[in-house]
Structure 1
């Protein structure tokens, strides 16, 4: 083989690690903020429900844009979509950092501050992050064919999200000890680094590799709706606890704002470890079908919710979050890989967008509802999340679609 042919073969090799790196960096930016969201809100004078509405706004933006991004990644190419997404995310979070600083100094407050939180953290960053997972999932579906390889590829998306959760927990929690502004400064730097890497390292597709008119897929399609229902339930249950973790930590353990960020970071670190163990070790080595992954994962996550309901102290709280991360880490590749094996190549972008929209839809209602319920009674959002997860576990046990699926012809 000549040097030139070797170079051409290398250039044609799928850049899955680079695409997964994009997922990692955008989620690292998001997860770095998570440990400080609750104490930051209280520091600038926002109510818990306003945090919920901000996150729900980001989720609604994701729902409205995910399918567009998924199809656009097949028609325009992955590189233009990812470069655009990272540029939007970087600018939005730079401005969000300035707004948060002004809120902490008292220069901004009340309705104006809340509106800027909605626009920057909600709409701006929500639109950006909506582009990345669908693009990665559609790409992986495009370069894999059999069930085992597809499941491993989709597990890779979850694994880097788990690593981002760990990295974000470590970075956000550690920097919170220096003050709430420190993580806010780091996030746009991380996103800017991702923008540079994608712009200079990711190859654009050849024209013949693009799909000029990607197919649309209905969420009512009988091949996929059971998977979407299961995913909707799983991430709704997660949404009922994710936004209140910081409040649970602070109120159950009686911590100040800075220490709440540190301990919340530790809890999110546990969830990330669970995700990584599930998707980097258990899923690739198990050889389980998508249906089996959903059944096993939902039961493990349900156990985590059950442990989280009572106030048992710091260690059981972290253990519960670990179990939830482990369970959802096992189930998620089944949810994403299962329907992709049933659809054709030109449908994969639309499916990835539907998956992203389904995930986002769960966070439109759940965070706001959770913060309202938390104001009524602390354990209530956890109880609701546990009930939803129990329904998901029963659904994936009995529905026939979750038997072993066969790949659709390309």
Structure 2
């Protein structure tokens, strides 16, 4: 079904200055998340949790993203961006402050075993997962709302990915460096960063006037023929990433034979390499290439596949860093194609629902992949990386051959 063309005159034109603030919100909440990534593996071992329990914790967060992303995306159009982001950041600050206290109690031995695991799932999984689910759909729906041509929309969606990549770099640096002073240091830093984000939203982000809101945003089905090929491609890409993201710390520690503190520092460096690749892709390659969404998916898929294949080989730190750099570069090129492509085929009243579906699709990949990745790692260390490479190969073949992507390169229309 083709929606009626949206009259661009009804789109908000006075609120373009809000885009940097929304990108700042994305950056700060992801900076909080990424600051924890370098220490999650050594932290789990310090508090006595198994690899699979960390995988379950990450999967719980992904489940909440799946369950709440479309709700948040549509509410960002009907309530407004500010109320949604204030609620999300308040929840994030509270849960991450409590998580820092919990981790400290776990390291001192005051809380152990099943209780510690359950509280990890509730705070880091359910609580923070629900909070972070609100932010990217809000930013993406807004960018789709105010961009009036295909090039601007692709660049806007690339900007969302770019700030996520910059957050990966910043989080890798902050988390890695602070871990040298003890694993508790990054845990304390995260709620502070989130509080800064909350203050930015409360004092700088304005509420939209009623005429800019959409009272009844349309719910988008993931089976909608206009969007499902893009969703399937994105699902495959992020599933492949999910298989290796959580185990990166374990790969670093086991391949290089490092202690807990050094593992946090070196893992931060590896994630920094991935972030550099992503930022390079989305600040240089995507804006300057002028490629359409389907081309971005194809080129990015091939480069990411090369990275996954290189990562299979255990040949020291240089090859490991090169592999994650290629993965970051490839996915950084492909992501704007995944997020911008379907927005060009639907109407304005559907953008919030679509942004939520995209967020839910991305979150769905982390429901199974982290748990499966950590479980497979326990069986045989190269197995999750081989699985990720196989998935990425399937995605690459799909975007090279499916008719939707051939049509998207020649017949995309901005709605």
Q: TM-score, normalised by structure 2?
A: 0.96
User: Per the alignment, in what secondary structure is the counterpart of residue 74 of structure 2?
Assistant: helix
1:239 to 238, 242, 245: 242
- For residues 13-34 of structure 1, the C-alpha deviation after alignment (integer angstroms, 9 at most, x for no partner) is 4311110000000000000000
**1:313 matched residue in structure 2:** 316
Q: For residues 39 and 217 of structure 1, what CA distance do their matches in structure 2 show?
A: 40
**2:4 matched residue in structure 1:** none
The answer to whether the 8 Å contact 1:373/1:380 transfers is: yes
**2:298 matched residue in structure 1:** 295
Deviation at 1:402, TM superposition (A): 1.0
The answer to whether the 8 Å contact 1:290/1:334 transfers is: yes
Q: How does 1:363-374 map to 2 (within 5 A)?
A: 363-374=366-377
Q: How does 1:10-409 map to 2 (within 5 A)?
A: 12-403=15-406, 404=409, 406=411, 408=413
- For residues 139-178 of structure 1, the C-alpha deviation after alignment (integer angstroms, 9 at most, x for no partner) is 0000002111000000000000000000000000000000
- For residues 267-312 of structure 1, the C-alpha deviation after alignment (integer angstroms, 9 at most, x for no partner) is 0000000001000000000000000000000000000001000101
**CA spacing shift, 1:387–1:374, aligned 2, 3 Å:** same
User: Per the alignment, in what secondary structure is the counterpart of residue 204 of structure 1?
Assistant: coil
Q: For residues 13 and 228 of structure 1, what CA distance do their matches in structure 2 show?
A: 27
Instruction: Tell me the C-alpha RMSD between the 2 structures.
Output: 1.1
**CA spacing shift, 1:405–1:125, aligned 2, 3 Å:** farther
Q: For residues 228 and 13 of structure 2, what CA distance do their matches in structure 1 show?
A: 38
The answer to whether the 8 Å contact 1:147/1:406 transfers is: no
User: Per the alignment, in what secondary structure is the counterpart of residue 291 of structure 2?
Assistant: coil
The answer to whether the 8 Å contact 2:218/2:353 transfers is: yes
The answer to whether the 8 Å contact 2:149/2:414 transfers is: no
Q: For residues 73 and 245 of structure 1, what CA distance do their matches in structure 2 show?
A: 34
- For residues 45-70 of structure 1, the C-alpha deviation after alignment (integer angstroms, 9 at most, x for no partner) is 00000000000000001000000000
The answer to whether the 8 Å contact 1:344/1:408 transfers is: no
The answer to whether the 8 Å contact 1:296/1:331 transfers is: yes
Deviation at 1:407, TM superposition (A): 5.1
Consecutive unaligned residues in structure 1, runs of 5 or more: 1-8
The answer to whether the 8 Å contact 1:342/1:405 transfers is: no
- For residues 303-358 of structure 1, the C-alpha deviation after alignment (integer angstroms, 9 at most, x for no partner) is 00010001010010011000000000000000000000101000000000000000
Deviation at 1:405, TM superposition (A): 5.7
**2:7 matched residue in structure 1:** none
Q: For residues 37 and 88 of structure 1, what CA distance do their matches in structure 2 show?
A: 21
Q: For residues 196 and 308 of structure 1, what CA distance do their matches in structure 2 show?
A: 40
**2:3 matched residue in structure 1:** none
Q: For residues 393 and 11 of structure 1, what CA distance do their matches in structure 2 show?
A: 40
The answer to whether the 8 Å contact 2:150/2:414 transfers is: no
